[in-house]
């Protein structure tokens, strides 16, 4: 009987240890409930262009949903979106807008801002001829505030992290299960080849967050609804040393975003299909 008891006790300890590898015992102070813990590691999703490469990510938290218009208005005081609704993702926001949102939200919640934003110093690395803002934005190392995900973090989380089932899209091999995009984001389901007059006449627009199926980590809308800003510049792994910024995920007016698809946009660019979600470090 004593041996059986010891065996059961060891088995219980192993089970508890395994669970602790999946998520921390508790979230950091003031971490909102609608954030998901992402256990770090190498890429498990075989559809990712990082799969099999020497890329290892640390643990982090990421928003379960795209930032909504209600969340944006509570922090920034106004709503720039074309399609209005509290539970719709905010859009018509530039990369500069969203890094400023991250800092303002951090301050509002008593956190240390993650970014240092110098609006008076032009970023010498930004060679864009159409971006006349060119703020110099750098990272405050060790800060616990809100930030944008890097492209690698975004793709890792969208692909299911360590729980990945190697889906083509975030949470499914079937786009309509997980994404709002040009075929299904309007009055009727469209078919054939994409063309803007057809999409426009179908009254396509953004949809409320969380109405589609989540991915393996419980994240919603990472393959559609609005494209999402990332921190880094196009072609960089984790820095912003280029003239454009990475956007991921696809949106309501275009095609659904496959995990590995990499696109970019001028940092001062805005659009009714351009939004974001935020991260926090563990």
Per-residue pLDDT of the chain (282 residues; tens, 9 = 90+): 444 444 444 444 434 334 433 555 556 666 889 999 999 999 999 999 999 999 999 999 999 999 999 999 999 999 999 999 999 999 999 999 999 999 999 999 999 999 999 999 999 989 899 999 999 999 999 999 999 999 999 999 999 999 999 999 999 999 999 999 999 999 999 999 999 999 999 999 999 999 999 999 999 999 999 999 999 988 765 556 568 999 999 999 999 988 888 899 999 999 999 999 999 997
Query: Which among 136, 78, 134 is positioned nearest to 104, based on CA atoms?
Result: 78
| Residues 6+ away with beta carbon under 8 Å from 253 | 182, 185, 196, 199, 204, 272, 273
For helices 69-76 and 95-108, the axis angle rounded to 10 degrees is 70
| CA gap 136, 120 in Å, rounded | 8
Instruction: Assign 62 to helix, strand or coil.
Output: strand
Residues in CB range of 9: below 8 A, 6 or more apart = none
For the chain, what's the residue count?
282
Give me the CATH topology for the region 29-281.
3.90.1580
Instruction: Please tell me the distance from the alpha carbon of residue 77 to that of residue 75, in angstroms, as a whole number.
Output: 6
Answer yes or no: are the C-beta atoms of 169 and 256 closer than 8 Å. yes
pTM: 0.89
Map tokens 């944006």 to a residue: 72
For tokens 């060790």, what's the residue? 142
Q: Which two tokens stand for residue 93?
A: 């926001």
């Amino acid at each position: 009987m004593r041996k059986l008891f010891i065996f059961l006790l060891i088995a219980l300890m192993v089970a508890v240890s395994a669970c602790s590898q999946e998520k921390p015992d508790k979230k950091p102070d003031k971490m909102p409930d609608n954030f998901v813990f992402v256990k770090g590691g190498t890429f498990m999703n075989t559809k990712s262009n990082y799969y099999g490469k020497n890329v290892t990510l640390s643990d982090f938290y990421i928003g379960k949903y795209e930032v909504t218009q209600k969340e944006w208005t509570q922090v920034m005081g106004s709503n720039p979106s074309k399609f209005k609704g509290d539970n719709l993702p905010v859009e018509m926001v530039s990369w500069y807008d969203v890094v400023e949102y991250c800092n303002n939200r951090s301050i509002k919640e008593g956190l240390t801002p993650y970014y240092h934003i110098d609006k008076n110093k032009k970023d010498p690395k930004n060679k864009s001829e159409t971006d006349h803002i060119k703020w110099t934005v750098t990272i405050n190392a060790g800060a616990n505030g809100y930030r944008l995900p890097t492209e690698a973090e975004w793709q890792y989380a969208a692909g299911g992290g360590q729980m990945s089932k190697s889906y083509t899209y975030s949470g499914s091999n079937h786009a309509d299960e997980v994404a709002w995009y040009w075929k299904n984001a309007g009055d009727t389901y469209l078919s054939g080849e994409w063309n803007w007059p057809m999409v426009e006449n179908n009254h396509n627009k953004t949809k409320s967050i969380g109405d589609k199926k989540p991915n393996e980590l419980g994240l919603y809308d990472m393959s559609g609804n609005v494209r999402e800003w990332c921190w880094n510049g196009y072609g960089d792994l984790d820095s912003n040393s280029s003239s454009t910024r990475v956007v991921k995920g696809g949106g309501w007016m275009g095609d659904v975003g496959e995990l590995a698809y990499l696109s970019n946009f001028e940092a001062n660019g805005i659009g009714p299909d351009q939004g974001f979600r935020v991260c926090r470090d563990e």
